[in-house]
Amino acid sequence: MSGSLLRLLTWLSPAFPTGGFAWSHGLEWAVEAGDVRDEATLRAWLGAVAAQGAGRSDAILLRHAYRVRDVEALTEVAALAWAAAPGRERQAETLGQGTAFTLAAAPWPAPLLEALAARIGTAAIAHPVAVGALAAAQGIDEEDVAAGYLHGFVANLTSAGMRLIPLGQSAGLRVIAALEGVVLAVAAATRDAALEDVGGACLRADIAAMRHETQYTRLFRS
Mean pLDDT for the chain? 96
Does residue 193 have a pLDDT over 70? yes
pLDDT at site 4: 84
Domain boundaries, the chain: 23-212
Does residue 77 have a pLDDT over 60? yes
3-state secondary structure 135-195: HHHCCCCHHHHHHHHHHHHHHHHHHHHHHHCCCCHHHHHHHHHHCHHHHHHHHHHCCCCCH
Summarised one tens digit per residue, pLDDT across range 157-185 is: 999 999 999 999 999 999 999 999 999 99
Fold assignment, 23-212: Urease accessory protein UreF (1.10.4190)
pLDDT at site 5: 87
Indicate the burial class of 2 (C-beta count within 10 angstroms; 0-12, 13-18, 19 or more).
Answer: exposed
**Measured on CA atoms in the order 175, 52, 85, 121, is the torsion positive or negative?**
positive
Summarised one tens digit per residue, pLDDT across range 143-157 is: 999 999 999 999 999
pTM exceeds 0.95, yes or no? yes
Backbone region of residue 202 per phi and psi (left: phi > 0; alpha: psi in -120 to 50; beta: other values): beta
